[in-house]
Amino acid sequence: MRRSLWFRVVVVLVVLVLGVLTWWWRSPELFGGQGSTLTIRDETGTVALAGVLVVPQQVGDGTVTVHSAQPRIVKAADGTEVDVLACHDGSFGTARGRDSLDEYCMSHGEVAGARLDEGDSLVVAVRSDEPQRVVVDGVDVTYSYGWQRGTQTTGLTAVVTFAG
């Protein structure tokens, strides 16, 4: 009888430990929560750039591999283009404007498959041919860092007003 009780206790403990490890492995929180709001005014037909996320210093010598990053579009008319780009070795940070990413980033490109180091950024590029207000409430980033892999909602909210 006693042996059976100990066996059950050990099984329960093993299941609990495995559950906690699985949760930790699938729930990375490298980027922190969502932040404040960037407000940008731009002209129709141009591309507004908003740095919504900077890879934190705690990455150190590690690398973050981004598998996907989807903008959380709250408000946008049909035909609005919203893309997420990776900015490497640059100073874009959480800035705003409509200058070319070439002015801020040593290199930049697609976010899927991007390997980000400390100080690299994710930038939302918004383009509209119509006067409107576009709201992007951060990004859903699926990434891996060390042993962890998962999806996290993070980044600043970008409010872009396109005037005619």
In a domain, 7, yes or no: no
Structural domain count, the chain: 1
Domain annotation covers residue 55 = yes
Residue 112 covered by a domain? yes
The answer to whether residue 129 sits within a structural domain is yes
Which CATH number covers residue 89?
A: 2.60.40
pLDDT at 22 over 90: no
Domain presence at residue 24: no
pTM: 0.78
Residue 13, in any domain of the structure: no
DSSP per-residue letters across the chain: -HHHHHHHHHHHHHHHHHHHHHHHHH---TT-SEEEEEEEEEETTSEEEEEEEE--GGGTT--EEEEEEEEEEEE--TT-EEEEEEEESS--TT-EESS-GGGT-SEEEESTT-EE-TT-EEEEEEE-SS-EEEEEEEEEEEEEETTEEEEEEEEEEEEEEEE-
User: Of the ranges 62-66, 75-79, 131-135, which is most confident?
Assistant: 131-135
pLDDT digits (tens, 9 = 90+) for 99-152: 678 888 888 889 999 998 888 889 999 999 999 999 999 999 999 888 888 898
Q: What is the pLDDT of residue 70?
A: 96
Domain region containing 75: 30-163
